[in-house]
Amino acid sequence: MSGFSFGTQLIYVLAASCFVLGLHLMNNPATARRGNQFSTAGMVIAVATTIALIVHAGVISTTGWLVMLVGALIGGSLGLFAARKVQMTAMPQLVSMFNAVGGGAAALVAIHDYITVAVIGVAESTTITTLLDVIIGSVTFSGSIIAAGKLQGLITSAPVTFPGARVVNLLLAAAAVAGGGYMISTPSLPALWVVIAASLVFGVAMVMPIGGADMPVVISLLNALTGTAVAMAGFVIGNWALIIAGALVGASGGILTKLMADAMNRSIGNIIVGGFGTGDTVAAALPGAGAGVRAIAADDAAIQLAYASKVIIVPGYGLAAAQAQHEVAELADELESHGVDVSYAIHPVAGRMPGHMNVLLAEANVPYPLLKEMDDVNPEFARTDVALVIGANDVTNPAARRAGTAISGMPILDVDQAKSIIVIKRSMGHGYAGIDNELYTNPKTSMYFADAKTALTELTSAVKTLVG
Amino acid sequence: MSTALLTDLVIFVLSLWVGFEVISKVPATLHTPLMSAANSIHGIVLVGAMLIAATTNSWVGYLIAFLAAVFASANVVGGYAVTGRMLKMFRKRPSAPAVPASAAAQDGHRP
């Protein structure tokens, strides 16, 4: 190893250390911004080092420079535009698209490497990782695009399955492995195309059967896969920065995947195989059609809220879908100004990605200490006058505590322990699990049938006239 | 198995453990920014894209390098920008609006 390449590897390790430090600073909202700056610095260092490396090697053609610069300009502006314009409710789609391009780029690195070595013979040490990079990268690429499409509503968010889907998946996996085996034993471009095609289709087939409410798990899993693909790309081109960064992302995605799956009491395998068999937009029954359900109007709900001393707000995907985060914060402000103690109970899988609700509420200026995690907030419900459930369903269903229901064993928010409960919901429609929510028939519960945004605006003005 | 591959494997495995250790302490409040930050970090694959562009000399190679450069730089730039944008919103206490009024109105912040 020459002195120069020794030096560059060391600088790459420095860049990787910045990533570790950056992630470490994410432990606390107060230091998280600094963490992102460290991480950005690491990336700048890595890219600058690579430019130095390329100049030093001196083999790059003018076309090479052009391709690199134009590509970076186009990609960079697209990324910046998306990052500036995206609404916080659409974060899951954007993250999914970043997974897609990251996985795609990683796959391309391996594809190029294979095409190059296939001409001159195979270097054994890299082919296994090359193969893994191609497979994982391609699966992530197509899978993430499908996930983004589902989140954006371009593809139905209901699980899409067909008879024999599992057989097809197995065949695709077999094709990828067989093609890969052949790729390693004999340098062969057709085998590479087979592997790429099988992996791309497998990615689609993997995500299509997964329903909307399982998205937090899927996005986390795809994130972990992207990281792994990037690490494999690092093996392929012998670059430590890629290996370390990829492993960090793989670990991060892995942890989130497990956290999300645990929060639904489902195994990752079970989620991948398919949803509960229903979509989360089940055709709704008529409002108030359920037996023993008490409907409530804005004025009565406002009275309950205004004269409470402690209110816990339980937001769910319905809040994000209605983009009502600003309205809920406004209601909370109004209540707080009249001395009501307001906090938020956040279930780990509320929304469409890990931490989705927290970002929405942060956007609406809600201070993060008011957002309580499930285990911390559950003991507080017994001391709560009003629990206000907005667009959350399965995560509040007491049926989870009993055996034998579709959601048995899933950790839930103990909303039913509150002295009274108000549920804002468009209809009596089922949640993702497709079962009745026993909370709604609880005698302490009143149902406020409306779109979250409308309901919250009406509630706020009702509270204002009442006590203002 | 070559020494280089073994070294790479050791680095990979140890980095995984470092990742598990560091990230398992991140609070649920920050899970979305964490994932977004992790997203921008895997944009490091840009280095790979650059090295392709530097070594290739066929049109297929240039095409692959171009696509990889577009993908990876969208990943890097977009990832860091959106993570920064998100983290800026996390506040401990409602403070005096840090953004100019016009930008605040545009972003839909409450006054």
Q: Does A247 touch chain B (CB under 8 A)?
A: yes
Dist. CA A256–CA A216, nearest whole Å: 9
Question: Is the separation of the CB atoms in A264 and A349 below 8 Å?
Answer: yes
A162's CB contacts (< 8 A; 6+ apart) are none
- Asked if A68 lies within 8 A of B50 by C-beta distance, the reply is yes
Mean per-residue pLDDT for A209-217? 85
- Point out which residues pair with A387 in neighbouring strands: A312, A421
Question: Is the separation of the CB atoms in A328 and A456 below 8 Å?
Answer: yes
Residue A161 vs residue A169, higher pLDDT: A169
Residues of B with Cβ-Cβ distance to A362 under 8 angstroms? 86, 89-91
The tens digit of pLDDT for each residue in A8-60 reads 989 999 999 999 999 999 999 999 999 999 999 999 999 999 999 999 988 88
A187's CB contacts (< 8 A; 6+ apart) are A117, A118, A119, A121, A122
Shortest distance between the Cα of A252 and any Cα of chain B, in A, equals 6
Question: Is the separation of the CB atoms in B41 and A19 below 8 Å?
Answer: yes
Dist. CA A97–CA A95, nearest whole Å: 5
Show me where the domains of chain A are located: 3-273, 298-467
Residue tagged 């991948």 (tokens): A272
Q: Name the least confident of A165-174, A202-211, A279-288.
A: A279-288
Tokens read off for A311: 């209110």
Mean per-residue pLDDT for A268-283? 55
The secondary structure of residue A285, as a DSSP letter, is P
For strand A445-449 and strand A420-425, is the pairing parallel, antiparallel, or unpaired? parallel
The tens digit of pLDDT for each residue in A233-249 reads 999 998 999 999 999 99
Residues of A with Cβ-Cβ distance to B11 under 8 angstroms? 240, 243-244, 247
What's chain A's average pLDDT?
A: 88
- Asked if A249 lies within 8 A of B84 by C-beta distance, the reply is no
Torsion of CA A79, A80, A82, A85, to 10 degrees: 180
Mean per-residue pLDDT for A145-159? 88
The tens digit of pLDDT for each residue in A352-396 reads 889 999 999 999 999 999 999 999 999 999 999 999 999 888 899
In the prediction, which pLDDT does A57 show? 87
Question: Is the separation of the CB atoms in A401 and A395 below 8 Å?
Answer: no
Identity of the residue in A54, A112, A250 whose CB atom sits nearest the CB atom of B19:
A250
CA A163-A169-A170 angle, to 5 degrees, is 110
Tokens read off for A66: 């052009």
* CB proximity under 8 Å: A 36-95 to B: 36, 39-40, 42-43, 46-47, 50-51, 53-54, 57, 59-61, 63-65, 67-68, 70-80, 82-84, 86, 88, 91, 94-95
Mean per-residue pLDDT for A442-449? 92
CATH class of A298-467: alpha beta
Shortest distance between the Cα of B99 and any Cα of chain A, in A, equals 12
A310's CB contacts (< 8 A; 6+ apart) are A340, A341, A380, A383, A384, A385, A386
The secondary structure of residue B51, as a DSSP letter, is H
Dist. CA B32–CA B39, nearest whole Å: 10
* Three-state DSSP class for residue A276: coil
Torsion of CA A384, A389, A392, A397, to 10 degrees: 50
Q: What is the pTM of this model?
A: 0.88
Mean per-residue pLDDT for A130-138? 94
The tens digit of pLDDT for each residue in B15-74 reads 999 999 999 989 989 999 999 999 999 999 999 999 999 988 889 999 999 999 999 999
pLDDT level of residue A101 (50, 70, 90 thresholds) = very high
- Verify whether residue A394 is a known catalytic residue: yes
Q: Does A293 touch chain B (CB under 8 A)?
A: no
Residues of A with Cβ-Cβ distance to B94 under 8 angstroms? 365, 367
pLDDT level of residue A287 (50, 70, 90 thresholds) = very low
Q: List strands edge to edge, sheet with A420-425.
A: A371-373, A341-346, A310-315, A386-390, A420-425, A445-449
Amino acid symbol at A220: S
Mean per-residue pLDDT for A151-160? 84
Could you tell me which chain A residue has the CA closest to the CA of B31? A355
* Residue among B42, B60, B76, B106 with most chain A CBs within 10 A, to mutate: B42
Identity of the residue in B18, B61, B81 whose CB atom sits nearest the CB atom of A84:
B81
From the candidates A113, A133, A280, A394, give the one annotated as an active-site residue: A394
Could you tell me which chain A residue has the CA closest to the CA of B78? A79
